[in-house]
Amino acid sequence: MNEPTPVHTTPSNKIIVTMGLVASICGVLIVAAYESTQDAIANNKRIMVERAVFKVLPGAAKVSEYVATPSGIQALTGNVPDGGVKFYAAYDSAGALKGIAAEAAGKGYADMVRVLYGYDTQCQCIIGIGVVSMRETPGIGDKIITDKEFLKNFDALDVRVNAEMSALMNAVKVVKHGTKQNAWEIDAIAGATVTTKAVGRGINESAQKLLPLLVPHVAELKP
């Protein structure tokens, strides 16, 4: 840059050859790295999903991925089709259906709060949640992981589907701290309302979409 204007310039074919050579070496390196890490990455992803599902459905031992569409449910292969909702079916070690887990996301204070909820087909209720990812303020928003009183909301959160199988009988709602009256309400954490509302809205949205598609076909989930 500080040198005087160059008197001679490199011929462009030399430039092209050099760039091509460097690009080919780099391409080979990337492909090699991709091929050699692919299995480990897929394995890691599977372990992560399993760990998350086992947390919201205690006692589960095996997880399969399914997708629910208006035409029924089937095992997930490849990408989720349009209008489909992905969910996980969890079985215990004897092979009996332990419950369903699905992901919910709501806009929180800093970014999307993504949670996984466990759904029990017997009581038609949500029996546990776990946070998949969030960037909420430490000490305030992250109470949704630690606050025992808040987590009690998800011991048996009512998400029954109405008779027409079109929506939930009662929408999941976040109410002011200390005013929970019905089984489908979530008692907010005082001081972390934005984050709790994100969780509630996310669960409502996901359950409204998934459960009406899933409930009529639950019996098909026997392994």
Partner 1 sequence: MSLKKEADEGITFDTFMEGVWRQNPVFVMVLGMCPTLAVTVSAVNAVSMGVATLFVLVSSCLLVSLIRNLVPKEVRIATYIVIIATFVTLVDYIIQAVSLSLYEALGAFIQLIVVNCIILGRAEAHASKNPPLKAVINAMGMGIGFTIGLLALGATREILGAGKLFGFSLFGEHFQPWVVMVLPPGGFFVLGGWLLLFSHMRSRSEKGAAHE
Whole-angstrom CA distances from 199 to 12, 123, 151, 181, 191 are 59, 21, 11, 19, 15
Least distance in Å: CB of 151 to partner 1?
20
Give yes or no for residue 48 binding partner 1 (CB under 8 A). Answer: yes
Question: Which of 106, 116, 172 lies closest to 141 in space, CA to CA?
Answer: 106
| DSSP state for residue 133 in the 8-state scheme | E
Report yes or no: 186 and 200 within 8 Å, Cβ to Cβ: yes
Does residue number 169 form part of the binding site for partner 1 (CB under 8 A)? Answer: no
CA 199/CA 143 separation, integer angstroms: 12
124 binds partner 1 (CB under 8 A): no
Q: Which of 64, 71, 133, 162 is the binder for partner 1 (CB under 8 A)? A: 133
Single out the residue of 4, 78, 138, 178 in contact with partner 1 (rule: CB under 8 A).
138
Give yes or no for residue 29 binding partner 1 (CB under 8 A). Answer: yes
Phi-psi region of 59 (alpha: psi -120 to 50; beta: other; left: phi over 0): left
**Residues touching partner 1, count (CB under 8 A):** 26
Give 13 or 181: the residue with its C-beta nearer to partner 1: 13
* Part in contact with partner 1 (CB under 8 A); list of ranges 61-69, 83-91, 132-140, 203-211: 132-140
| Member of 2, 4, 8, 41 binding partner 1 (CB under 8 A) | 41
Residue type, 164: E
Question: Where on the chain is the footprint of partner 1 (CB under 8 A)?
Answer: 6, 9-10, 14-15, 18-19, 21-23, 25-26, 29-30, 33-34, 37, 40-41, 44-45, 48, 133, 137-139
